[in-house]
Amino acid sequence: MISKMHITGASGSGTTTLGKALAQKYKFVQLDSDNYFWLPTNPPYQKIRKNPERQALLNSDMLKYPNWVSTGSLCSWRDFALPYFDLVIFLFIPQELRIKRLIERENIRSPESFIEGTVRAKQFNEFIDWAKQYDTGGLEVRSLYMHKEWLKKLSCPVLNIEGELTVDESVKIVENFIIEL
């Protein structure tokens, strides 16, 4: 029985969206890494929470709930959560689509990020530059290489989902994979 899933991939690959859909389908709690990684700020995503604190918060929630789906990248958090996972889902989509999604998401969240010369615009442009490194970066940045190395450490099943799929199509792939386990 799968009761603890983790979904990972590049920023903009759809980990949070798929996690929300799977949590709803299976009546699981969704634990999004951004809620642990970042301290609450307005605007959001300005201050990083120290690693021991974020680990403790996430670990507490992973122990508190019997059924959950965690979303986001945990590669740089050390490997405390690896024994919890019953299934890890790795999402990969082409860079052009990821960047397009990130821009669309930011336009909804924070339209001021597109006003030239503002601090928000500078921060967002730096974020996009960082996100573009995913396909070619090494272990020094969250990258495809880093994720592939991290996935090798897992003892649970890993489901790779690649390409531009709808959320419903991805949910169906996960559902079929779980049935076949």
Strand partners, 91: 9, 161
pLDDT, tens digit, 9 for 90 and up, residues 120-160 = 899 999 999 999 999 999 988 999 999 999 999 999 999 99
* The amino acid at 127: F
Domains, the chain, in order of start with CATH, read 4-175 (3.40.50.300)
Nearest-10 Cα torsion for 91, 96, 99, 105: -80
Q: Where are the beta strands (DSSP E) in the chain?
A: 4-9, 29-32, 68-71, 87-92, 158-162
Q: Are 4 and 86 in contact (CB under 8 A)?
A: yes
Q: What is the pLDDT of residue 25?
A: 97
Q: How far is CA 128 from CA 8, 57, 70, in A?
A: 18, 28, 24
Tokens at residue 134, please? 């995913």
What are the structure tokens assigned to 102, written together?
């990130």
What is the rounded average pLDDT for all residues in the chain? Answer: 95
The region of weakest confidence among 37-41, 53-57, 96-100, 109-113 is 109-113
Q: What is the pLDDT of residues 41-61, one digit of tens each?
A: 988 888 999 999 999 999 999
Q: How confident is the model at residue 75 (pLDDT cuts 50, 70, 90)?
A: confident
Amino acid at 24: Q
Q: Does pLDDT of 76 surpass 90?
A: no
